[in-house]
Amino acid sequence: MAEPIRGPYPQTRMRRNRQYPWIRDLVREHRVTVADLIWPLFVCEGRGREEPVESLPGVSRWSVDRIAERCREAVALGIPAVAIFPATPPGLKTDDGREALNVQNLVCQAVSVAKDAVGEQLGVICDVALDPYTTHGHDGLFRNGKILNDETVEILGRQAVIQARAGCDVIAPSDMMDGRIGAVRGALDAAGYSHVLILSYAAKYASGFYGPFRDAVGSASNLGKSGKHTYQMDPANSDEALHEVALDLREGADLVMVKPGMPYLDIVRRVVDQFAVPTMVYQVSGEYAMLAAAADRGWLDRRTVVLESLLGFKRAGASAVLSYFAPEVARWLCE
């Protein structure tokens, strides 16, 4: 026969700390703040232009002059940084991606405009990779069916210096070539830019969630059915991510990134636990598109699921999140 319950039942009631809004606020373990947000921006050629991205409802490409407006908006909202990605005109794409080294390319122009508009009030992050500039859509030089690692790395170092000279605060190599962090750090230091930070896409997976981003920068048609599995990580691997992060930190990375976000929360947690370094996560275009599309159809409550998704990144240990929802979230948090 079961022992009779003695005393009040139950003595521990977890719901007591949930019964009022004020107590839930007091005991909340994690919070999303505006300071956690980085806003990705797409820049296109022309003047006074806004080009909606069909596969990213609510997201647009902006001409260089209108990037200034977005940067002033970010400052007004309290967003600490933006990340700039170019939609390079098809006529400027080449096999060797030489437009990446043009000191007047879209990224360099956008960085200069951003800094003229807001100065040090806003951090500007620049992607370092060749895929927005190549006719084949790969992140590196591509010859005889293979990505040329070391030749690509040399170009990436030059690309980083050009972006730093334009005023970029954070260089973010997203290419996943071996040794590129050390090469970029060396190139920046040699050119007098030792103060420029490196945010390494240290654990970037060969994911199916990047499709809308490739539409936005115009690389989807270039890449075609080709994949990036020889340089981006296998989604099945997690120990490998720790090796990648360790190498990038050893080579001089100041910050590291896990990409994509939600399907890889376990990687975020492992990286933070192992290295205790600032770890960013990218809520990539496919994640955004899924939530936005479901919310637009009334299947999900937009505000609830977006904030919940960001809270999940913070709970996993992320220091900050790149998200296309950033300005919207900032407005919600300021209400």
Q: Under DSSP, is residue 279 helix (H, G, I), strand (E, B) or coil? A: strand
- State how far the alpha carbon of 281 is from the alpha carbons of 174, 203, 263, in Å: 13, 10, 11
Phi, psi of 109 (to 5 degrees): -65, -45
Q: What count of other Cβ atoms lies within 10 Å of the Cβ of residue 226?
A: 12
Beta strands 142-143; 146-147: pairing state: antiparallel
Query: Which residues fall within 8 angstroms of residue 29, CB to CB, at 6 or more apart?
Result: 315
d(CA 170, CA 163): 9
Q: Under DSSP, is residue 68 helix (H, G, I), strand (E, B) or coil? A: helix
Residues marked active site are found at: 204, 259
Helix, strand, coil abundance in the chain, percent, nearest 5: 45, 20, 35
Look-up of token digits 């990505």: 147
What is the secondary structure of 140-207 as a DSSP string?
Answer: S-EETTEE-HHHHHHHHHHHHHHHHHHT-SEEEE-S--TTHHHHHHHHHHHTT-TTSEEEEEEEEB--
Beta bridge mates, 52: 60
Phi, psi of 221 (to 5 degrees): -70, -30
Between CA 74 and CA 81, with CA 78 as vertex, the angle to 5 degrees is 55
Whether the CB-CB separation of 198 and 228 falls below 8 Å is answered with no
- With CA atoms as reference, report the closest residue to 317 among 267, 246, 282: 267
